[in-house]
Amino acid sequence: MNYILETNHLAKKQGNTYRVNDINLHVPENCVYGFLGPNGAGKTTTLKMILGLIRPDHGKISIFGQQVASANRLQILKGTGSLIENPGGYGHLTGLENMQIVQKLKGVPEEKIAHTLKTVRLYEQKDKKLKHYSLGMRQRLGIAMALLGDPKLLILDEPTNGLDPAGIQEVRELIRTLPEKRSMTIIVSSHLLSEVEQMADYVGIIHHGEMLYQGKLSSLETGGKNLEEVFLSMTGGGDSL
């Protein structure tokens, strides 16, 4: 199997405590990979290390078959898009104007903007100011910004956080269609089991900074137990998703 992203014994300390310890991710191409764990499990820390936003204390990262180093980091990361924590943007500008700023920073042709806004179903609202967008629309605009440049790897950190049910459904449907429409791989982190179940093909479960399981989502549902029962048995039932 071809992996678009791999980490080897990735670790990050905070003081004397490991926030992330010995993480070995194996993310197949053209899938939705659900990175699942309770709040504080180490998901965002791991994703920030992958994107070069923070330095790991130990371990290696390979993206697109290349080991990431200071010399090639920027070149490799040009093939990625990301939405970490809250979507950015300028409230006094329109959705289109916000997209144009990102387009110029990325050096992407301007004609890509319309296609990307249509992909996230925001083209009709492109002339509305960002401050008048709903939270769901802001999330979709953040995803559109990440999609500019047609990345091979898209990393989304808790993209449905804070959304109402309609917004969750919109973002979920968008994520599920992207691998086929754009031939890309998506890593989506979540603390919500129901979200991962409805979006992901593969799953990595992290708890207290350590990987508990990685593989096909369908392989977890064994022995007559559903996915929630399996997860709770892994974590000792102490964290409810």
For 124-149, write each residue's pLDDT tens digit.
999 999 999 988 889 889 999 999 98
Architecture of the structural domain at 1-79+154-236: 3-Layer(aba) Sandwich (3.40)
For residues 38 and 235, give the distance between their C-alpha atoms in angstroms, rounded to a whole number. 10
pLDDT in tens, 57-88: 999 999 999 999 988 988 898 899 999 977 78
For residues 43 and 206, give the distance between their C-alpha atoms in angstroms, rounded to a whole number. 7
pLDDT in tens, 160-198: 887 888 888 888 888 998 888 888 999 999 988 888 888
List every span in the chain annotated with CATH 3.40.50.300: 1-79+154-236
Q: Give CA 208 to chain center in angstroms.
A: 19
What's residue 239's pLDDT?
44
Model pTM score: 0.88
